[in-house]
Amino acid sequence: MASETLETKATLHELDAVLENVHSSQRANRDGAVATYIPELARAEPDAFGLAIATVGGRIHTAGDVEIPFTLQSVSKAFAFCLALELAGRDKVLARVGVEPSGDAFNAIVFDPVTNRPFNPMVNAGAITIAGMLDEIAGDSAFDLMLDRFSQAAGRRLSLDETVYRSEAETGHRNRGIAHLLRASGALTGRTEDAVDLYFRQCSISATATDLARMGATLANMGENPSTGRTAFDLGAVRNTLAVMFTCGMYDYAGHWAYDVGIPAKSGVSGGIVGIVNRQLGIASYSPRLDAKGNSVRGIAAFGMLSDELGLHAFDCTNRGSAFVSTLIDDA
Ligand code: GLU
């Protein structure tokens, strides 16, 4: 990293102060409820709350519980999609999974009425199809490949939470039902059990808010981890992934999110959210209390505040965001 100027130090200090302020203003927010569909998620500490911002210059800024591990759950869908785009190519992926927001719940059993494809890769039907494609391409090594790329994006070795994985596999009957319908319509061509098994495993990869912010910064940095310099994801795949995260990443709240927060993001039922400010930042929040749509209550509020305070909305018209953030990055 280049030496810090006094001005940069002031800006860095300002970013830490904004993060701290957002964190403390949401700390008392106890709305929502922890997911209970498997016992392991129900046991999460409901008050845990961490915020992390990683820059494409390799810096990390944090507030609160950023080292508590949680399973990625649906957050994994964005990164798995990115990998499938690279390995199978955009056209083959698009032939099997659409890119339209569905407006339905994540686990809805609904397909595009014209094409019969899942609406998009961020709902379970689409994510299971993507897992099936990765399984067809990489076979028994599909999970290792996925874990490897996710780890490269995080900049450290991530691991599978075996207990969560076993629980997902024992209780995931709805997802198995979706997989059979996908097999019947031709969206899945291999063994349904292999597709859902890979899906359960990807949901059960354990990471912290710090890891997730770094994974987001890797997407923001066009697929290259800013801290290690290693390429985790293909550049063209990142572009397509961010576009789908922008329109479909926040369950059936995606439109509202794009309107209010205005950055590509993906959330998961364990309480994590990752957001990407293209070419600038990866942002992560972790707080397990969820709203009725399955998004972290504090996460939504914190991202909204950060977007406003730092001017991060894609259509921000104050110029504050770009000026502020580029100071951080130039001097990193
Ligand atoms: N394992 C969960 C499921 O497929 C993930 C759901 C989510 O995070 O939205 O039911």
- What pLDDT is attached to residue 35? 97
Name the residue with the closest Cα to ligand 1, atom 7: 74
pLDDT at 122: 96
Segment 23-44 shows an average pLDDT of: 96
Q: Ligand 1 pocket, 296 CB below 6 A? A: no
d(CA 316, CA 308): 9
Does the CB atom of residue 107 touch ligand 1 within 6 A? yes
Active site residues: 74, 77, 199, 251, 269
CA 203–ligand 1 middle distance (angstroms)? 7
Q: Give the atom of ligand 1 at the shortest distance from the alpha carbon of 270.
A: 8
**Mean pLDDT across the chain:** 93
Which pLDDT score, from 0 to 100, does residue 4 have?
46
Q: Report CA(37)–ligand 1 centroid distance (Å).
A: 9
How would residue 11 be classed by pLDDT, with cut points 50, 70 and 90?
A: confident
User: What is the SS3 string spanning the chain?
Assistant: CCCCCHHHHHHHHHHHHHHHHHHHHHHCCCCCEECCCCHHHHCCCCCCCEEEEEECCCCEEEEECCCCCEECCCHHHHHHHHHHHHHHCHHHHHHHCCCCCCCCCCCCCCCCCCCCCCCCCCCHHHHHHHHHHHHHHHHHHHHHHHHHHHHHHHCCCCEECHHHHHHHHHHCHHHHHHHHHHHHHCCCCCCHHHHHHHHHHHHCEEECHHHHHHHHHHHHCCCECCCCCCECCCHHHHHHHHHHHHHHCCHHHHHHHHHHCCCCEEECCCCEEEEEECCCEEEEEECCEECCCCCEHHHHHHHHHHHHHHCCCCCCCCCHHHHHHHHHHHCC
Q: How much distance in Å is there from the Cα of 73 to the middle of ligand 1?
A: 5
Is the pLDDT reported for residue 176 higher than 90? yes
Looking at residue 1, its pLDDT comes to 40
Taking the CA of residue 174 as reference, the ligand 1 atom at the shortest distance is 10
74 CA distance to ligand 1 centroid (A)? Answer: 5
The type of residue at 217 is A
Mean pLDDT of 12-37: 94
Sign of the CA dihedral running 205, 210, 216, 217: negative
Please report the pLDDT score of residue 10 as a whole number. 56
**192 in ligand 1 pocket by Cβ < 6 Å?**
no
Query: Looking at the predicted structure, is the pLDDT value of residue 6 above 50?
Result: no
| Residue 124 beta carbon below 6 angstroms from any ligand 1 atom | yes
CB-ligand 1 contact for 101 (6 Å cutoff):
no
Q: How far is the CA of 87 from the centre of ligand 1 (A)?
A: 24
Tell me which of 12-16, 119-123, 225-229 is least confident. Answer: 12-16
pLDDT of residue 13: 75
Is ligand 1 within 6 A of the CB of residue 268?
A: yes
Structure confidence at residue 107 (pLDDT): 86
- Is the pLDDT score of 325 beyond 70? no
Q: pLDDT at residue 262 above 60?
A: yes
- Kindly tell me if the per-residue pLDDT of 331 is higher than 80: no
Q: Model confidence over 281-316: pLDDT tens digits? A: 999 999 999 999 999 999 999 999 999 999 999 998
With 90 as the cut, is the pLDDT of residue 146 above it? yes
User: For residue range 122-145, what is the model confidence (pLDDT) as tens digits?
Assistant: 999 999 999 999 999 999 999 999
The whole-number average pLDDT for the span 171-200 is 96
Cβ–ligand 1 distance for 269 under 6 Å, the answer: yes
> What span, in angstroms and rounded, lies between the C-alpha atoms of 75 and 187?
22
| Residue identifier of the C-alpha nearest atom 4 of ligand 1 | 124
Q: Residue 320: pLDDT band by 50, 70, 90 thresholds?
A: low
